Amino acid sequence: MDSPISEWVVAESSVWLSRVRSTAEPAISTVSDVLCTRLVHDETPQRELLKRSVLRKERSRLLPERDVRAPVPSRRGELFYRWQRRMNCMPRFDARIPEEPLSVLVFGAHFDDCEVRFGGTATKYRELGHEVTLVCMTNGEAGHYKQGGATLAQRRRAEADAAASHIGAEYVAFDNPEGELRPSIDNRNEIIELIREIEPDLVFTHRPNDYHPDHRYTSQLVQDAAYMVTVPNICPQTPHLDYNPVMCYLPDSFEKPYPLDPDVVIDIDGEMETKLDMLHEYTSQMYEWLPYNIGMLDEVPETETERREWLPKRYEPRNRGYADRFREELKDEYGEEHGSQVTYAEAFEHCEYGGDLTEENREILFPFF
């Protein structure tokens, strides 16, 4: 209270309140009501200034939110607006200011999900020396047509380790039955404990609307863990985090209830071959189960070399499609010339339940632009 105006507010409002109390005027119920009522009839210059300020605040409080919102000219403006809106209505979700090396944690439902949706970006993080941990929420025991159970689960785990070794990432796998993942409290608590142990700056997972129940429940579980990692009495044996990690959704092509609306689009042209090398390790998926499941098993070549040459036919179109679909975002990020020449992209959308993605931490969390 060091400005003359604020001193005046305190002095005047207390005098006025005592008068109000003594007369018990029923129409006046708050300090601001008192000030508005009094100041409307007061014309000295200092009081005129304060009157305008109080009336402006009162008016903005009464307006519906959509009318208060200023025009949003850019994606960064949109990020700022979201942060501002959240500050008014939700617990404050402070993401810490990250320090290098970053810690990045990616939750996929199945053993190839992280690589398919995040492989190029994971490679970029590792090239810059950041830590990447890939998580598979299920054990891989079901997705096949002539194998299953522990044999298939062990095979999938070995494929995952081989894929992660291309970029030096860690792989964590939970022993939940594939195809039967449950959005249970036990599974949520396991995720909370893992996030607390890893202390990630960034968490990625599926969007909540997806064709596969394991994808949907992975998303549900990770979203449910987001805020809870900061609550000391939840999983009290694991020290809680004093920040809420920034969380983003992995890309997909589903359109209902709305298509992916990315906050970050990344050029992975230089990492596409490494991403394909990682996918190539998943023999049981890329060359057996997935071709069988979509009726093109007879197109899969026999030899390793032929298969690696064939693999882009299946997986390039996805990332080429993201680059075309999010061309304007790529131009915003990289400039007109670079952005218009990107062939392959990965795109990620901020999840509101994790920490805030701000202009300040975005530059540190996505150090690729």
Task: Tell me which residues touch Zn ion (CB under 5 A).
Answer: 109-110, 113
| Nearest residue (CB) to Zn ion, 110 versus 124 | 110
How far, in Å, CA of 266 to CA of 269, rounded? 9
Q: Residues, the chain, total?
A: 369
Give the distance, in angstroms, between the CA of residue 198 and the centroid of all CA atoms in the same chain.
17
Cis amide leading into 236 (omega within 30) = no
Tell me the closest approach of the beta carbon of residue 216 to Zn ion, in angstroms. 11
Do 195 and 203 contact (CB within 8 A), yes or no?
yes
Tell me the closest approach of the beta carbon of residue 184 to Zn ion, in angstroms. 19
63-100: buried (b, 16+ CB within 10 Å) or exposed (e) per residue?
A: eeeeeeeeeeeebeeebbebeeeeeeeeeebebeebee
| Nearest residue (CB) to Zn ion, 204 versus 334 | 204
| Nearest residue (CB) to Zn ion, 115 versus 267 | 115
| Nearest residue (CB) to Zn ion, 110 versus 362 | 110
**Torsions phi, psi for 66 (to 5 deg):** -65, -25
Tell me the closest approach of the beta carbon of residue 329 to Zn ion, in angstroms. 25
Question: Cα dihedral sign for 104, 108, 111, 113?
Answer: negative
Q: Which residues fall within 8 angstroms of residue 315, CB to CB, at 6 or more apart?
A: 116, 275, 276, 279
Closest residue to Zn ion, judged by C-beta, is 110
| Nearest residue (CB) to Zn ion, 126 versus 156 | 156
Q: Is 242 exposed, middle or buried (0-12, 13-18, 19+ CB in 10 A)?
A: exposed
| Nearest residue (CB) to Zn ion, 217 versus 366 | 217
Tell me the closest approach of the beta carbon of residue 182 to Zn ion, in angstroms. 16
| Nearest residue (CB) to Zn ion, 252 versus 329 | 252
Tell me the closest approach of the beta carbon of residue 179 to Zn ion, in angstroms. 10
How many alpha carbons lie under 13 Å from residue 287 in its C-beta half-sphere? 19
3-state helix, strand, coil in the chain (%, to 5): 55, 10, 35
Tell me the closest approach of the beta carbon of residue 132 to Zn ion, in angstroms. 18
Tell me the closest approach of the beta carbon of residue 340 to Zn ion, in angstroms. 32
